Amino acid sequence: MLNFNEEFLKLEEDKNTLKKLKTKLSNIDLEITKTNTSLKELKKILSKEEKDVSNLESFSLSYIYYKIKGSLDEKLSEEKIEFLQAQAKFLECEDYLNRLASDKKKMLNNISELGDIDLKHENLLNTSSQYILNLNNESSKEISLLLDKIKSVSLDLKEIQEAIFEGNKLVPYIDEAISHLNSAQNWGIYDMLGGDFLVTMAKRSKWRMPQNQLMILKLC
C-alpha cells in the first residue's frame, strides 16, 4: 500500500523549497541589475584612467605640460596606479557578476528539477482519493461526499470567475455612459441659467448618448 502521507509531506517540503528558491532568485535578479549598473560606471572610470595614461605616454598636451614642469615620470606613475586600481575594481565587479549569473543558472535548474508541484499535488490527491474509494468502506463514503463538495465549489468558482470576466468587459461602456450623463447634467444646469436653443439641442444630444450606451449594456 502506498504511503500517501509521506508523499504529501514530501510535496509540502518541495513547495517550501520552491518558495525559498524563487525568493532567492528574485534577490539574485535584483543584485544582477545593481551589479550591471556598477560595472558600467566602473568601465567608464577605467576608460578614463586608461586614456590618461595613454596621453602621458604619447606626444600630447598632457605629455608636453608635465614634461616642461619636470614631473612627467611622477605624474605617469600616479596615473598608472589609478589605472591599475580602476582595473582591479572593474575585474572584481565583473567576476562577481559572473558568479551571480552562475548562481542564477543553478537556481533555475533546481526549480526545474522540482517540476510542477501543483500538478503533482493534484495527481496525488486524485490517486489517493481513488484508492480510498476502491476500499468501499466508511472512509470511502466520506471521501466521495467530500469530492462531490469540491466539484460543486469548483463549478461555483468557475461561474463566479466567468461573471467577473463578463462584468469587466462592460466597465468601459458604464464609464462612458456615466461620462455622458455628467456632461448632459452640466448642459442642463447651463440651460437653467439662460441657455438658448442651441444649448438645448446639444443637451438633448448628450442625453441620447448615454441612452445608447445603456442599450449596449442591455444587449451585453
Record the pTM: 0.54
Predicted local distance difference test score (pLDDT) of residue 99: 95
**Is it the case that residue 31 has pLDDT exceeding 90?**
yes
106-157 pLDDT, tens digit each: 999 999 998 888 888 888 877 877 776 676 666 666 666 766 666 666 566 6
Predicted local distance difference test score (pLDDT) of residue 76: 74
**Is it the case that residue 34 has pLDDT exceeding 50?**
yes
Task: Round to whole Å and give the CA distance between 214 and 202.
Answer: 19
Q: How far is CA 194 from CA 94, 115, 133, 199, in A?
A: 75, 73, 80, 9
Output the nine-digit C-alpha cell for 51: 586614456
Write down all domains in the chain, each with its CATH number in brackets: 1-135 (1.10.287), 148-220 (no CATH)
User: What is the pLDDT of the chain when averaged over all its residues?
Assistant: 74
Please compute the mean of the pLDDT values over residues 46-56 and round it to a whole number: 84
150-207 pLDDT, tens digit each: 666 656 666 676 777 666 666 665 666 556 555 545 544 444 444 444 444 444 444 4
Express as a percent the part of the chain with pLDDT over 70: 56
Predicted local distance difference test score (pLDDT) of residue 63: 62
**Is it the case that residue 101 has pLDDT exceeding 50?**
yes
Q: How far is CA 112 from CA 3, 9, 109, 159, in A?
A: 25, 20, 5, 33
Task: Round to whole Å and give the CA distance between 108 and 151.
Answer: 35
Predicted local distance difference test score (pLDDT) of residue 27: 93
Burial (0-12, 13-18, 19+ Cβ within 10 Å), 43: middle
- In this structure, the number of other CB atoms found within 10 A of the CB of residue 99 comes to 11
